[in-house]
Structures are given as C-alpha cells and as structure tokens.
Amino acid sequence: MRRRLTMPQLLGQVGHVMQREMQIISDALRRNDVELVHGLASFVDPHTVRVETGTGQRLLTTDHILLAVGTRPSQPPGMAPDGQTVMTSADILTLVCFRRARVNLDFP
C-alpha cells in the first residue's frame, strides 16, 4: 500500500521539481545567449525597452523582445481570501494539511 505524503513532504517535493525546471530553462536560455533582465519594463518604441532594475535603469534595443511578466494570484470579486476558507494559489502552499474535500474555482 502506498503511503500518503504529509503536506511538508509534498511542498518539499514541489519545491524540488520547481527548482529543477527553472534550472533547465535557465540553462537553455544561457546556451542560446539569451540575457535575462529583471525589473519593471516599459516600451520606449517597438524595438526599445526601458527597464528599472534594483541598481538603476537600462535601455535595451533589439529586433525581438520577449516579456515574461509572471503572475500573481487574483482575488475573486466579492470574496476576500482569508487563508482558511477562501484561498489563493499562494495560500495553498502554506497549508499544513489538506482536507479531504475542497472546491476549486478559477476566475478569469
């Protein structure tokens, strides 16, 4: 019989998988001479981006620009997440245990 993972074990495994996947992507970008610039970006023109980084401002000009904007959990209208009954995807990662029944709803 297969043993059920505890929440800390599950989160540890999720973290390990995420780190491995991020390393694979990072290695592929590096092999293809892709420079990653982290910060707040805005277009100056169709081929130039201004990036506010933690150390200042950079203007980047190139033929092709890929913006990877990331995501943050959204709050459903009229339902404030409380971390107990109404949760975001980020709240789920802080749970100590899962209940046997849970309803998941996605909001655009």
Per-residue pLDDT reduced to its tens digit, 82-95? 877 777 777 777 77
4-46: pLDDT as tens digits: 878 788 888 888 998 999 999 989 999 998 888 888 889 999 8
Buried-exposed string 19-30: b where 16+ CB fall within 10 A, e elsewhere: eeeeeeeeeeee
- Other C-beta atoms within 10 Å of 51: how many? 15
Residue 52's pLDDT band (cuts 50, 70, 90): very high
Residue 56's pLDDT band (cuts 50, 70, 90): very high
Sign of CA dihedral 18, 20, 26, 28: negative
* Residue 10: per-residue pLDDT: 81
